[in-house]
């Protein structure tokens, strides 16, 4: 028997089998790609943001807020490409003490604006614990109707106890939202700290929400915040609360006349409104548009934007220096010893700070 015949008829011959299936089914692979999308380069991020892709916009803002160097580097590349497409929105800051109804008010006003064809973004700065760095981040729950509106984008951000970081992150998030085509940007802050001053430095119109008959101790609003306000709205003016709201509006209006004139030339207004019933929401927006028209006509709008850009530069330099200083290994090695000396009374906190800065 020939050798080829032997191999052909041998019981040891290996027969061709069926094609082996893929290790992962195509359906499963597709689902996995949907869950874990491929990392996008900066140009792809920018292209998607300019096309109004909300998912990619959210990812870009997450990178802005990230402390990882690789995320920060990519975020800055995206922002640089988006800057030429930004700056064409109306930026509105909204503040007020907890319980004043900020989220409900923004949702009522936001729904009114999207019904008119506007695209709005809400950047909500949530209070965070300095101890745990935890935050509530509940605005999407409180603004459920607006969150489901295709012409609205809601992004809660944790303040994480560092005001400078919030300021930079929010400013850069505004740029990304404007590039994505949102023509009205709301920046909401909790209304119990210095974040109001930071928000005022990045918006065109600053709105203060107040309650009627809450008592001075509950209002917790200092004169400085009232001086920053371009308008005060007495919220929850409905039912039996309407007379109280009207009295409060008159009192706040009288108080505003005691303040120095605004550099914008605009006389701050006081109005009443009800977010839950939707009353006077349209009138509030008409007032905002009137303000925009007036300050643009006088040139104040553009001058204010330029002033804010320079302020953003200064704030970013200060925040960057602070971060680099405290992440320096030599500085980090000196801090525990200086803290120990402060607690033992060997050195004053001021002398310890000077020693730390000088590196001795």
pLDDT at 113 over 90: yes
**What is the average pLDDT value for the chain, to the nearest integer?**
83
pLDDT tens figures, 212-271: 876 553 344 566 788 889 999 999 999 999 999 999 999 888 888 888 888 899 999 999
User: Does position 24 have pLDDT exceeding 50, yes or no?
Assistant: no
Q: Give the pLDDT score at 255.
A: 84
Q: What is the pLDDT of residue 300?
A: 97
CA distances 90 to 75, 94, 118, 183, 288, Å, are 23, 13, 11, 6, 10
Instruction: Please report the pLDDT score of residue 304 as a whole number.
Output: 96
The total number of residues written for the chain in this structure:
360
The answer, yes or no, to whether residue 196 has pLDDT greater than 90, is no
Q: Distance between CA 203 and CA 162 in Å, rounded?
A: 20
* Residue 178 neighbours by CB distance under 10 Å: 22
For 268, the token pair is 């701050």
Percent of the chain predicted with pLDDT > 70: 77
Q: Does the pLDDT of residue 291 top 90, yes or no?
A: yes
pLDDT of residue 182: 97
The 10s digit of each residue's pLDDT in 63-110 is: 998 888 899 899 999 999 999 999 999 999 999 888 889 999 999 999
305-335 confidence digits (pLDDT tens): 999 999 989 988 988 898 899 999 999 999 9
How does pLDDT run across 170-180, given as a tens digit for each residue?
899 999 999 99
Find residue 279's DSSP bridge partners.
274
Confidence at residue 35, expressed as pLDDT on a 0 to 100 scale: 39
pLDDT at 165: 52
> Which pLDDT band holds residue 153 (cuts at 50, 70, 90)?
very high
Over the stretch 338-357, which tens digit does the pLDDT of each residue have? Answer: 999 999 999 999 999 999 99
Q: How far, in Å, are 24, 27, 286 from residue 19 at the CA level?
A: 14, 18, 69
**What DSSP character marks residue 138?**
-
Give the residue with greater pLDDT, 319 vs 38.
319
Confidence at residue 198, expressed as pLDDT on a 0 to 100 scale = 83
User: What pLDDT sits at residue 163?
Assistant: 55
**Confidence (pLDDT) at 145:** 87
- Rounded Cα gap, residues 238 and 147, in angstroms: 25
Residue 44 in this model has a pLDDT that exceeds 60: yes
Q: Are 218 and 186 in contact (CB under 8 A)?
A: no
Stretch 188-210: mean pLDDT, rounded?
83
pLDDT for 135: 40
Q: Please answer whether residues 179 and 49 qualify as being in contact, where contact means their C-beta atoms are separated by less than 8 angstroms.
A: yes
Mean pLDDT of all residues in 57-66: 92
C-beta neighbour count of 115 within 10 angstroms: 10
pLDDT for residue 339: 95
Work out the pLDDT band at 131, boundaries 50, 70, 90: very low
| Residue 125: band (very low, low, confident or very high) from pLDDT cuts 50, 70, 90 | confident
């Amino acid at each position: 028997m020939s050798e080829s015949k032997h191999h052909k008829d041998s019981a040891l011959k290996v027969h061709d089998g069926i094609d082996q299936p893929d290790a992962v089914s195509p359906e499963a692979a597709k689902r996995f790609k949907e869950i874990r999308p491929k990392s996008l380069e900066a140009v792809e991020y920018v292209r998607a943001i300019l096309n109004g892709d909300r998912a990619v916009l959210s990812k870009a803002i997450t990178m802005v807020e990230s402390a990882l160097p690789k995320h920060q580097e990519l975020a800055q590349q995206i922002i640089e490409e988006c800057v030429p497409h930004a700056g064409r929105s109306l930026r509105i800051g909204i503040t007020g003490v907890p319980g004043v109804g900020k989220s409900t008010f923004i949702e009522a006003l936001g729904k009114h604006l999207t019904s008119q064809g506007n695209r709005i973004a809400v950047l909500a700065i949530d209070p965070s614990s300095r101890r745990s760095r935890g935050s509530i981040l509940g605005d999407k729950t409180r603004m459920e109707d607006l969150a489901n509106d295709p012409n609205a984008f809601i992004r809660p951000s944790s303040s994480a106890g560092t005001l400078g970081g919030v300021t930079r992150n929010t400013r850069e998030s505004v740029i990304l939202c404007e590039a994505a085509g949102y023509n009205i940007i709301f920046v909401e802050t909790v209304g119990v700290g210095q974040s109001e001053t930071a928000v005022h430095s990045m918006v065109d119109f600053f709105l203060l929400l107040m309650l009627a008959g809450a008592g001075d101790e509950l209002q917790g609003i200092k004169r400085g915040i009232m001086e920053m306000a371009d308008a005060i709205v007495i919220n929850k003016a409905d039912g039996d609360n309407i007379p109280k709201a009207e009295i409060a509006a008159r009192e706040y209006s009288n108080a505003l006349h005691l303040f120095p004139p605004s550099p914008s030339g605009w006389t701050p207004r006081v109005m009443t409104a009800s977010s839950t019933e939707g009353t006077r929401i349209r009138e509030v927006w008409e007032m905002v548009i009137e303000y925009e028209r007036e300050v643009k006509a006088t040139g104040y709008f553009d001058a204010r934007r330029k002033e804010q850009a320079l302020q953003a530069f200064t704030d970013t330099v200060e925040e960057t220096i602070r971060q680099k200083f405290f992440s320096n290994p030599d500085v980090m090695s000196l801090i525990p010893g200086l803290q120990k000396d402060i607690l033992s009374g060997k050195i004053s906190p001021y002398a310890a700070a000077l020693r730390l800065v000088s590196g001795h």
